[in-house]
Amino acid sequence: MKIKLYDVRKDEMAAIDAYSKQLGVETEITQDELCADDIRKLDGYDGVSVLGHKKVDRELLEALKEAGIGCISTRTVGFNHIDLNSAKELGIRVCNANYPPNGVAEFTVMLMLIALRKYKPAMWRQGVNDYSLPGLQGKELGKCTVGIIGTGRIGQAVLKNLTGFGCKLIAYDPYPQDSVREIAEYVDLDTLLKTSDIISLHVPLTEDNRYMINAENIAKMKKGVMIVNASRGELVDIDALTEAVESEHVGSVAMDVIEDEVGIYHQSRINDIIKNRKMAYLRQFPNVVLTQHMAFYTDVNVDSMVECGIKAIKEIVETGSSVHEIKL
């Protein structure tokens, strides 16, 4: 059983070593992205694993098929970077990770608190020995109505964390969960948009929800609303969001993800000319907190991502099925 792992970060190596031994899988690693030329050189491999930076498009999937590789795992929960329609047509099995939701959920609450308590401008001031208070008065989370869009594992974990703060919790999901009803009230999307002080997104990116936070939906929101996104950047129309920050209709933004982050986030670009005007402009506002897609990045999650990435391929090849397989 042989698997090649792409996009490997140094901090994944110990787990790759441990799970390769534990699961009896021969693994080859590279920091490079999956590419057709490299796939053509693969001989005798059962699967490949990626990390979700590069689009796995039809060309790459066809190259995998030609190389006789029938399975690809992404060591991420999100799988919007993989062309699932082509994978289905070509008969390539696709698996994702299901690391615990707590790391992202805790980070989400941190984003809310940082923005509510104006920690970004407070930190700027400390850097120049300005310890003044005016302009830094915050709001209390316990007094807010928080609207969670998407009550899958991460949305539910965020709701659970928030119960400790005493805020009013509302949620929207086309597939409501009974366990959520114990701590939050399900409402329709418009009601959530109209009544929340904080709106937090916890949905996977699909063809249907790209730019779900757009000018029309922002107009329905309360003046001063906070928008939080630790899911996928493309859920938010940055032009519409930026205009709403400028008009002060949106009071604050805290986002771990942003459209066109690939090639910027998770790298040092310190000496480079970065061409993402939307991101640079949005980042400069004192009430906008942008982090570099790091909500997932905990010791627990890195270990789990590697385990899922290797185990999924082993299970598919040896038993014909895996809980990690995405139904195509």
Does residue number 240 form part of the binding site for ligand COI (CB under 6 A)?
Answer: no
Amino acid identity at 252: S
The residue (of 116 and 312) whose beta carbon lies closer to ligand COI is 312
Does residue number 52 form part of the binding site for ligand COI (CB under 6 A)?
Answer: yes
Strands 71-74 and 93-95: parallel
Does residue number 147 form part of the binding site for ligand COI (CB under 6 A)?
Answer: no
Give the 3-state secondary structure of 10-28: HHHHHHHHHHHHHHCCEEE
Provide the edge-to-edge strand list for the sheet that holds 145-149: 185-186, 168-172, 145-149, 198-201, 225-229, 250-255, 288-290
- Least gap, CB of 96 to ligand COI (angstroms): 8
List helix spans (H) across the chain: 13-23, 36-41, 58-66, 84-90, 102-116, 119-127, 153-163, 178-181, 189-195, 215-220, 238-246, 277-283, 299-319
- Least gap, CB of 188 to ligand COI (angstroms): 27
- Least gap, CB of 326 to ligand COI (angstroms): 13
Does residue number 291 form part of the binding site for ligand COI (CB under 6 A)?
Answer: no
Does residue number 309 form part of the binding site for ligand COI (CB under 6 A)?
Answer: no
Angle between helices 102-116 and 299-319 (to 10 degrees): 150
The residue (of 30 and 247) whose beta carbon lies closer to ligand COI is 30
- Least gap, CB of 139 to ligand COI (angstroms): 28
- Least gap, CB of 320 to ligand COI (angstroms): 25
Does residue number 78 form part of the binding site for ligand COI (CB under 6 A)?
Answer: yes
The residue (of 196 and 200) whose beta carbon lies closer to ligand COI is 200
Does residue number 76 form part of the binding site for ligand COI (CB under 6 A)?
Answer: yes
- Least gap, CB of 194 to ligand COI (angstroms): 29
3-class secondary structure, 326: coil
Q: Is 324 a catalytic residue?
A: no
Tokens of 225: 């609303």
Question: Which of 34, 72, 77, 250 is close enough to bind ligand COI by CB under 6 A?
Answer: 77
Q: Is 249 a catalytic residue?
A: no
d(CA 248, CA 176): 33
The residue (of 113 and 294) whose beta carbon lies closer to ligand COI is 294
Angle between helices 102-116 and 153-163 (to 10 degrees): 50
Strands 47-50 and 145-149: unpaired
Q: Is 261 a catalytic residue?
A: yes
Bridge partner residues of 193 (DSSP)? none
Stretch that binds ligand COI, among 70-78, 117-125, 175-183, 282-290 (CB under 6 A): 70-78
Which residue in the list 232, 234, 259, 307 is annotated as catalytic? 232
Which residues form the catalytic set?
232, 261, 293
Per CB under 6 A, residues contacting ligand COI are 51-52, 76-78, 293, 296
